[in-house]
Amino acid sequence: MYAEHYNLSGRPFQLSPDHRFFYRSRSHNKALAYLSFGLNEREGFIVITGDVGAGKTTLVGHLMSQINREHYVSANVVTTQLEADDALRMVASAFGIDFEERNKATLLRRIERFLLDQHELGKHVLLVVDEAQNMSPSALEELRMLSNFQADGKSLIQCFLLGQPQFRAIMAHPAMEQLRQRVIASCHLEPMDVEETRSYIEHRLRMVGWDNNPVFTDDAFDMIQVHSGGVPRRINTLCGRLLLYGSLENLDEIDGDVVFEVVSELADEGTQHSSTAIPETDFEEIMLPSGRIVKGLTESMPSGPWPSVQSYSDALSSLDRRVSRLKKVG
């Protein structure tokens, strides 16, 4: 709906990971460098952690879109609560290896044979494990054991472990010492600050032909970062709803008041309890990165110098715009 209203070629804020929209924040750029380094080394484990919706899957998807598929055989798996035997069957299934009614020793031999066959073809085998925090220590140990399969002094399989922040605590456990010794790089995806949040939003909009319609004001970007925490998927949730609201209200500008209105709607709907939701915020008092404190739909000034006449003029202009919108609705 909003894509047609704003003449966009598609929806820029879909919740499903899409590597075409990959944005290089400082944190994501660092993680991408670590992953690229790991691929060049062709051995060991690389651990990437981040909050739900931080962009781990999109990051790896972007990397995989850049490599020469003729030289790699890769598989992506999303784990649930896996034990040791389940881990081996998961790996076999991901690479299309027959594992029906076979004992562990036979399964290991078939996996090793597959890895050797790929090596002889000049292909590097890469396993990407998402939601790695769901794996038991014994399952992680089985993955480590697979890295013992070697040829020409190099491991026949490499593994990227993607997990939520608690995976860092799991890896720090003394029982994980042997696995930690196989980790050649580790990176945590940090939330984006205000500047990165703005660049991220504009990047995704430009990918679908955005021509500054609607215009996002500075205070809108400030409030989007505050309410999303700088987490990409939360930003997508909020911005998708902002564009929908703007199209329904026929707006050509998204300002802080519009953001507050949409955040309030999301809170009323209870969506703050989902993994993609805007975190619940005390609307009584919110400090924006610019230093302003928002209370409800009014603003009180921060401590320090008195505001300029221009500040009052800007506030009155914002109020006029809100009144005009209300008149249109009425």
pLDDT over 90 at 129, yes or no: yes
pLDDT over 70 at 155, yes or no: yes
> What distance in Å separates the CA atoms of residue 148 and residue 116, rounded to the nearest whole number?
12
235, 197 contact by CB (below 8 A): yes
**Ranges of each domain in the chain:** 2-9+193-329, 26-189
CATH 3.10.50.40 assigned to domain 26-189? The reply is no
Q: Quick: pLDDT tens for 24-61.
A: 999 999 999 999 998 888 888 999 999 999 999 999 99
In this structure, the chain runs to a length of 330
**pTM (two decimals):** 0.78
CATH of domain 2-9+193-329: 1.10.8.60
CB-CB neighbours of 102 under 10 Å: 16
Backbone angles phi, psi at 317, to 5 degrees: -65, -40
176, 138 contact by CB (below 8 A): no
Q: Quick: pLDDT tens for 156-209.
A: 999 999 999 999 999 999 989 999 999 999 999 999 999 999 999 999 999 999
Question: Which residues face 157 on adjacent strands?
Answer: 125
Q: Quick: pLDDT tens for 228-265.
A: 999 999 999 999 999 999 999 999 999 999 999 999 98
> What distance in Å separates the CA atoms of residue 92 and residue 96, rounded to the nearest whole number?
6
User: Does residue 174 have a cis bond before it (omega within 30 degrees)?
Assistant: no
pLDDT of the residue at 12: 95
Contacts 24+ apart (CB under 8 A), 308-316: none
Q: In a 3-state reduction of DSSP, which class is residue 77? A: strand
Choice between 287 and 129, residue whose per-residue pLDDT is larger: 129
